Amino acid sequence: MAEYSKSSRTPPPPIATRNCDDPRIDYKETVYLHKFLTPQAQILSRKRSGFCTQCQRQLKEAIKRARHMALMPFVN
């Protein structure tokens, strides 16, 4: 078996761990939210964002609201 950890396919470490009272998950905080987008402006998976279920859901809502208001892109 190939050693997964040594290969280039090693998944990148999670971007953030967050306490669930952080008020920055808001559609107006576009600079912060941009950290959780891929270069193509897809939302990062929970594995890569490092968020818990509730935080990830808030993140998803916030980014989608920001997209609706043209604060963040749908695609890059």
In the complex, the residues that contact another protein under the rule CB under 8 A are: 27-28, 65, 67-74
Smallest gap from residue 22 Cβ to another protein (A): 15
Q: Which is nearer to another protein, 27 or 32 (CB)?
A: 27
Q: Which is nearer to another protein, 1 or 31 (CB)?
A: 31
**Burial class for 54, CB neighbours closer than 10 Å (0-12, 13-18, 19+):** exposed
Distance (Å, rounded) from C-alpha 24 to C-alpha 39? 21
Contact 43, 20 (CB under 8 A): no
Q: Which is nearer to another protein, 18 or 67 (CB)?
A: 67
